[in-house]
A and B are shown apart, each in its own frame.
Chain A
Amino acid sequence: MSLIDQLNQLEQEALAALEQIADLTALAEWKSAYLGKQGALSRLSRGLGALPAEERPVAGARFNAARATLEQALERTEAQLKRSARQSAFEADRVDVTLPGRAPAVGRLHPTTQMLRTIYSVLGEMGFQIWESPEVETDEFNFQLLNMPPDHPARDMWDTFYVETAPGEPTLLLRTHTSPGQIYAMRANAPNPVRAILPGKCYRYEQVTARHEMQFYQVEGIAIGEQISFSDLKGTLVAFAERLYGKGVKTRFRPSYFPFTEPSVEFDIECFLCGGAGCRVCKHSGWLEILGAGMIHPTVLRNGGYDPDTVSGFAFGMGPERMAMLRYGIDDIRWFFSGDERFLQQF
């Protein structure tokens, strides 16, 4: 048999063997058997030297072509084998994607904290800064300086917890609102303008029910300066409501009464639960009371160190628990101080 015939035969044999190969190990063996330095092709090519010189170039080209053919076939098979190996690996790796994932253990902030942060950030952008003041207060700061001398009938609006004190000491109580903070903030700033928010815990001597807690948060805001009017109060509150409840939220201002403001106002937004049609939450009025406000009473301004003839200001107060209750549809305020995870883990 001629060398070329042998080459043809080898080529046919190699290709046939390649057909049979099913894994990469066998492929590697095939490669060294046919294409390796000591492989069949190399061995056969040694016979080239024995050919007459004139036949050699043609035969050599034929050998090169055969090698190229086998190498291409190898590449093809290799790619195919890799593909099918990957495929079976995928099969083996397949998971039920509906199984639950590995949850990172991340805790939750109390809903009141979340509400407070929203309030801080909205009002903070308007230049209001946070001031805090004591929870255990004197009668003077909680009532008298806020235009409620002893025997003022409006004191009935705040049922008060009193703290035992030694005879001769001033009356101490748990603040019924964060309003005493107004006095601190004013006295620290007078006669300069001030914009402050006063967040904190307050207390009322009140039977605990789904609607009333003995302990709750309040956020009060004040803005005092030489050009602050009721229309600024309205503008500020509407801007605040739009940030919290969406642009274009319907609002309502009603005259009201607080001893430390004059004029006083109650600020309502259209009930977002029923769209104003009336429901249980809004007591079928279509409106939700969001906060109370007013122009700071001249007596209070004076007690804070300002001259009410030249300086004016507004104040407003809101209850973050109530706002959170409305936001989330919570029907019982007692959960807020329960420390119960069934509640805390919902927000």
Chain B
Amino acid sequence: MRVPLSWLKEFVDITLPIEELAERLTRAGLECEGIERIGVEGADLPWDPERIVIGRILEVRQHPNADRLVLADVDYGADAPHTVVTGAPNLFPYKDRGRLSQPLKGVFAREGAELYDGHAEGWVKTRLKGRLVRGIMSNAMLCSEKELGLSEDHEGILILPDDAPVGMPLRDYLGDVVLKFDVLPNMARCLSIVGVAREVAALTGVPLRMPEIHVVEDGPPIEGRVRVTIEEPDLCPRFTATLIEGVTVGPSPLWMRRRLTMAGMRPINNIVDISNYVMLELGGPNHMFDADRVAEQHLIIRLARPGERLVTLDGKEHNLDASVGGGMLPLLVCDPQGPLSLAGVMGGASSEVSSTTTSVLLEVAVWDPTIIRRMGTALRVRSEASKRFERGVDYELPPLVQRRALSLLQQIAGGRVAQGMVDNYPRPWKPVVLDLTPREVRRIVGISLSAAEIADLLRPLGFACDLINDGAAVRVTVPSFRRDVTMLADLCEEVARMYGYDRIPLTLMADVLPEQRNNPSLELELRVRDLLAGAGLDEAMTYSLTSMAAVAKINPADADASLYLRLANPLTPEREYLRRSLLPTLLEALAQNLRERERTLLFEIGRVYLKRAPGSGEVRPEEPRRLALALAGRRYERSWHTPDETVMDFFDLKGIVEMLLARLNIVDVRFVALTDDPRFHPGRAARLERDGRVIGVIGEVHPDVCERLEIAAPRAMAAELDLELLGELVEPVRYRAISRYPATTNDLALVIPVDVPAEQVTRAIRKYAGALLESLTLFDVYTGEQVGAGKRSLAYRLVFRAPDRTLNDAEVARIRQKIVRGLEHDLGATIRGEG
């Protein structure tokens, strides 16, 4: 809402500097988003009071040396008139008519004045300099609206009204300040000048001033001439109509055009402008029909009927058949022949006021906010009127709007006002009455006020307050323009607002501390994040929404849309489906990063969204958390001290995952070769299992996938783990007593058929070694001539230690022997060099 200060001042005296007023209003909930100054100090173009003044054009003469220029003698309050060279077309009709009997008023600017360049694109400032124009000295000018920054218009000079005082600085005549407010839904009352004025009055302790309105009802009575029938009283609780005949359509006066422009509306003609002006001023949307185009002057408020259509003022044709929700058709104002307008939203073209209009039928009504909102959404049409009706318009306002509009119409467009007003008011306003106690204010707001103090805070806002029960409570009658106030909490807000949010004390909760509880799932997330960051991975967050195309890049078989939750209204096709895996988006990020750098290690923790089986009784999908890892590129950052040029492979990722499992104390996880997952390299992937439950997958990304993602690295690795399951498998860490006895180290080099997985070997070693084996490290893997075809050598370091004694060589030799025999029996292993 844009509020010109000059307009606001008609309703309230401004006692504060403008910035302070803006801050005061902001702190009372009416956020001032900006202050725009026009012509005054601080404006982008301040009008120099010495050099830009109101002038009177006495005579217009042909320029002796140029057909398209004229000379104008301008009296600007100085001793003698000043001759101005101008090409303004709107002065040409006055050319060579001698001294004008009714001099024109314009804006006179002298040399040195700063103005906008009328010919330049946009707003370019220029200083007025004297120069010879076709042999005649020109050091002053008559200004266009554009040159003054009032509008884009540079067609001719700005003509001021006849009563504009000659010599007055333009700053004092047209200078203004516009306050721009962000009006929240519960402040609908401030979508009007008077509403803002009421807030200003209440907050600064001055009275609100309602100007007197004069209407001369000099026409015949309206009764019997205009009829209103409301078929839908619940949707149209009130409808008033008046009639004015014999109006002349033309442009509005400058002051009205200026105020409308400053308020953000485009002036059209006096009738339409008055309609808008009154809406902005009082907050009461209204509609002006060309009375002669309303059949029988009978307005009928009803729902649309099948097959009806309407062309609105903006030229759009609407099919009125369509339901606007809840099986309801659009609400219309009609005459006996058919639809005239979309009720409360927009008028129709057929009954629009035009240049030939002489009679105006003026509608001021109150509409149900829901139907207005639904029509706006369904028909995709919104207006300044519907914006106000959606938020709720004062039931008691229409008569005032009628009188204000009629008085302006009569004053500006002439005409005779029919006596009386048709007032159809089937659902009268029922005032809300609330009893507010100091106790309630203390309970909700936390301040101690007496009932009288509460009443004093509320009254300036228009609330009628009576102290009841010997001053124990305030009986508050909510005014009709405060439809947002329906309960005590609303009144508490008003009390707090007027008291000042900033004055309310700061306290710390004295209430009992609620029962505290653990949050193991969040703690797990925190720990996993720390471990992975510690292991050198950066945490990424990617979009929850993806596309089938992105999924197909990872695995065409996964791109089955029926498995996915789909948005009904996606913004873009790239973000249409809720993800079932983190891999597509994370691998996309990996690929993106590899275009910029030589190594990338990423992880993400996030939810996936899985449809539930039909009939599960829960409509929401499952949202289990997943952990995904993705890495590729050099194993080490390029550096002067680490000449290692190797790139990461499967074991880099596996090492990270093993570390994670170990640190979370998840034991006995098996890595089972995964050979048929199209996302992964068939020889370099594994499924993680624990007691048959699948924790996730890990592997080198299939070269086809790398190709589709354009991954610029020889190998890319990825894993996706079920974080919920990981959480279940975490076991508490138990301290093991530290032995005071020395360890015995024993190396074991085995030759084993290549198809025996290493994991099986370590299992077997552990089995035969028993409890004295403290640690087992695989330190060499060798295939080649020395061990023969189909075999490989695995070399382990075994550390034995007993908790209660020093192991002797014979004991260790016995264990070793047991291991060797066991491995030979179970796996066909031999000791290298002994086979």
Contact = CB atoms under 8 A, between A and B. Distances in A.
Interface of A: 99-100, 102-103, 105-110, 112-113, 117, 126-127, 129-130, 132, 134-138, 151, 153-154, 156-157, 161-165, 169-170, 172, 174, 189, 192-195, 201, 203, 205-208, 214-215, 223, 225-232, 234-236, 238-239, 252-257, 262-266, 283, 295, 297-298, 312, 336-342, 344-345
A144 to B, nearest CB: 14
Given A102-B639, A255-B493, A265-B501, A162 B507 contact: no
Contacts of A110: 539-541
A216 to B, nearest CB: 10
Interface stretch (B80-88, B529-537, B756-764): B529-537
A214 B509 contact: no
B576 to A, nearest CB: 10
B497 A215 contact: no
A231 B505 contact: yes
Shortest 6 CB-CB distances between A and B: which pairs? A339-B589, A231-B446, A255-B29, A263-B493, A229-B446, A105-B536
Interface in B675-707: none
B515 A264 contact: no
B567 A163 contact: yes
Contacts of A156: 185
B397 to A, nearest CB: 19
Contact of A232 (B446, B536, B543, B642): B446
Most B CB within 10 A of own CB, among A164, A189, A207, A283: A164
A130 B522 contact: yes
A129 B519 contact: yes
Contacts of B830: none
Nearest to B514: A193
B640 A100 contact: yes
B26 interface: yes
B459 to A, nearest CB: 18
Nearest to B489: A262
A91 B542 CA distance: 53
Given A153-B390, A230-B444, A255-B493, A107 B514 contact: no
A174 B568 CA distance: 11
B187 A236 contact: no
Nearest to A287: B26
A104 to B, nearest CB: 8
Contact of B534 (A107, A174, A262): A107
B27 A137 contact: no
B501 A253 contact: yes
B506 A235 contact: yes
A206 B184 CA distance: 20
Interface in B571-605: 571, 575, 578, 585-586, 588-590, 592-593, 596-597, 600-604
B446 A163 contact: no
A153 B640 contact: no
A328 to B, nearest CB: 15
B373 to A, nearest CB: 6
Nearest to A286: B23
B811 interface: no
B490 A337 contact: no
Given A100-B639, A105-B536, A235-B508, A138 B185 contact: no
Nearest to A262: B489
Interface in B525-566: 526, 529-530, 532-545, 565-566
Contact of A295 (B444, B505, B575, B623): B444
B28 interface: yes
Contacts of B623: 134-136
Contacts of B530: 109
Given A153-B390, A192-B515, A295-B444, A105 B637 contact: yes
B620 A136 contact: yes
B734 interface: no
A294 B672 CA distance: 54
Contact of A339 (B187, B325, B541, B607): B541
B495 to A, nearest CB: 9
Contacts of A283: 33
B487 interface: yes
Interface string B18-41: 000000001111010100000000
A255 B504 CA distance: 12
A132 B520 CA distance: 12
Given A339-B540, A341-B600, A164 B565 contact: yes
A256 B641 CA distance: 59
Contacts of B445: 229-231, 263
A253 B502 contact: yes
10 contacts: A103-B639, A107-B603, A126-B509, A136-B578, A201-B544, A201-B607, A230-B444, A295-B489, A340-B593, A341-B538
A254 B31 contact: yes
Given A109-B529, A154-B185, A312-B443, A129 B489 contact: no
Contact of A341 (B185, B502, B536, B593): B593
A264 to B, nearest CB: 7
B591 to A, nearest CB: 10
B539 A163 contact: no
B569 interface: yes
Contacts of B603: 107
B337 interface: no
Contacts of B529: 109, 113
Given A106-B533, A151-B373, 12 more contacts: A107-B539, A129-B519, A132-B521, A161-B567, A161-B569, A174-B567, A227-B509, A229-B442, A232-B510, A239-B508, A298-B487, A339-B585
Nearest to B391: A153
B437 to A, nearest CB: 12
Contacts of A298: 487, 489
A231 B567 contact: no
Contacts of B637: 103, 105
B818 interface: no
A263 B496 contact: yes
Given A129-B517, A207-B571, A107 B535 contact: yes
Nearest to A296: B489
B568 A264 contact: no
A137 B519 contact: no
A339 B602 contact: yes
Contact of A234 (B29, B504, B511, B600): B504
B513 interface: yes
B621 interface: yes
Given A298-B487, A339-B592, A163 B497 contact: no
B579 to A, nearest CB: 11
Contact of B186 (A99, A236, A257): A257
Contacts of B505: 231, 234-235
Nearest to A341: B593
Contacts of A138: 619-620
A107 B519 contact: no
Most B CB within 10 A of own CB, among A236, A298, A338: A338
A248 B424 CA distance: 59
A236 B522 CA distance: 24
Contacts of A226: 511
Contacts of B414: none
Nearest to B186: A257
B820 interface: no
Contacts of B521: 132
A132 B524 CA distance: 14
A157 B390 CA distance: 14
B559 to A, nearest CB: 17
B519 A130 contact: yes
B492 interface: yes
A297 B509 contact: no
A262 B657 CA distance: 49
B116 interface: no
A236 B508 contact: yes
Contacts of B325: 151
Contacts of B570: 161
Contact of B504 (A126, A231, A341): A231
Contact of A192 (B29, B509, B514): B514
